[in-house]
Amino acid sequence: MTSAARIIDVHAHVTPQRFQRAVLSGSDWFGMTPADGELGNIRNRWGPAQRLEAMDEALVDVQLVSPTDCFYQYGREPSVTARIAAECNDEVAAMVRDHPTRFMGLGPLPMQDPDLAVAEMERGLRQLGLSGFMIDDHVNGLTYDHDLFDPFWAAAEALRAFVFVHQGAPTSVTYRTQKYFLLNTVGNLVDRTLTYGCLVYGGVLDKYPALTVCLAHAGGYVPYAMDRMDQGWRMRPESRGRSRELPSSYLRRFYYDTVTYTDRNLRMLIDVVGADRVVFGTDWPAPMAVAQPVRRIRSSTALTEEERRSILTDNTAGIFTTSRTTRT
């Protein structure tokens, strides 16, 4: 298997074993309890060996492993969140060290304190060999157009971090209704669409043109939202914020994972953003993960052979070409 042909799953979670050891033995872990860990999902308890078996069965070569969103913990004292992030990052880094051909790592960061976040980002990339970080769509209600996050984006660009945006609970839909699981099935997608808007209108992408930002869950409603965002930009010039171009002109500045469930939606995503911006992702081991994710893409009649190759291997090969240790 050549490195360029590896199938890398950019959306794959882990519940750190050190958290599990603590909470399952009756202790708390930095104030977190079993309820914080989604341990009712048995796959969240699996160690690397069972994980590798599942990857083999699913034909996934590499997981870009990220601790579940439970570990954001942005509402805590920043020093506590920083310790939680550091522990998570140490564990993910150990997985990568133990299985360098099968795991790559994304960690959490203490985003409510951007200086601490930048320090942990530098440690994670330079010392631990992580590939990037997973962040929520907002930080205690603040969206990423806020100047507070300037140092974070500057560092993410300078260090070429892969930034994976993925909701935590609650999503914005939770405040409207907590019924019918809409907080997830709709909320995840709403939050991602808001993040797109805030990064675009906030001028973050204009200010930091070399960012690598991947929007989880296929970018949410972004493909469908573009026409109306563009129309709003044209009709309401006073609402353009710091954006320089139409919202849709930033579509190809992001990456989007393949966490869709039908050819129809995957096809629309590709038609709107281009196959070269879509990267393979599964959301394993969540209950909402995509089943048989590789076979599904390989057998899809909605995609061309070139599109399949782009999505399964070529795009991530391009993103993760250089060894992170040389990126200092």
CB of 258 to Zn ion, least distance (A): 13
> H or E stretch including 24?
helix 17-24
Write the interaction track for Zn ion spanning residues 230-269; mark x where CB under 5 A is met and - where it is not.
Answer: ----------------------------------------
d(CA 78, CA 86): 12
- Residues in CB range of 70: below 8 A, 6 or more apart: 15, 32, 36, 37, 38, 168
- With b for 16 or more beta-carbon neighbours within 10 A and e for fewer, the 1-14 pattern comes to eeeeebbbbbbbbb
User: Considering beta carbons, is residue 9 or 283 the nearer one to Zn ion?
Assistant: 283
If the CB atoms of residues 204 and 286 are measured against Zn ion, the closer one turns out to be 286
Pairwise CA distance, residues 305 & 298, whole Å:
8
- Taking CB under 5 A as the binding criterion, the range among 2-10, 51-59, 239-247, 278-286 that sits at the site for Zn ion is 278-286
Query: Nearest distance from residue 299's CB to Zn ion, in Å?
Result: 24
61 binding Zn ion? (CB under 5 A): no
What residues from 120 to 139 belong to the interface with Zn ion (CB under 5 A)? Answer: none
From 97, 78, 88, select the one nearest 13 (Cα to Cα).
Answer: 88
Q: At what angle do helices 187-201 and 222-235 cross, to 10 degrees?
A: 40
Residue 146 C-beta: closest distance to Zn ion, Å:
24
Which residue in 197, 175, 196, 198 sits closest to 187, CA to CA?
A: 175
| Nearest-approach distance from CB 166 to Zn ion, in angstroms | 5
Stretch that binds Zn ion, among 57-65, 220-228, 281-289, 315-323 (CB under 5 A): 281-289
Q: Are 104 and 64 in contact (CB under 8 A)?
A: yes
Tokens representing 204 are 């973050």
User: Is there binding between residue 283 and Zn ion (CB under 5 A)?
Assistant: yes
Of 87 and 283, which CB lies nearer to Zn ion in the complex structure?
283
Q: By beta-carbon distance, which residue lies closest to Zn ion?
A: 283
Give me the amino acid identity at 198: C
* Cα–Cα distance measured from residue 216 to residue 239, given in angstroms and rounded to the nearest whole number: 26
DSSP, collapsed to helix, strand or coil, labels residue 109 as coil
Is the CB of 117 or the CB of 215 nearer to Zn ion? 215
Closest approach of Zn ion to the CB of residue 41, in Å: 12
Contact region for Zn ion (CB under 5 A) — 36-44, 221-229, 279-287, 318-326? 279-287
Q: Contact region for Zn ion (CB under 5 A) — 14-22, 50-58, 277-285, 298-306? A: 277-285
Task: Map the footprint of Zn ion across residues 5-34, applying CB under 5 A.
Answer: none
Cβ 64 vs Cβ 10: under 8 Å: yes
Q: Which is nearer to Zn ion, 65 or 116 (CB)?
A: 65
Residues near Zn ion (CB under 5 A) are 283
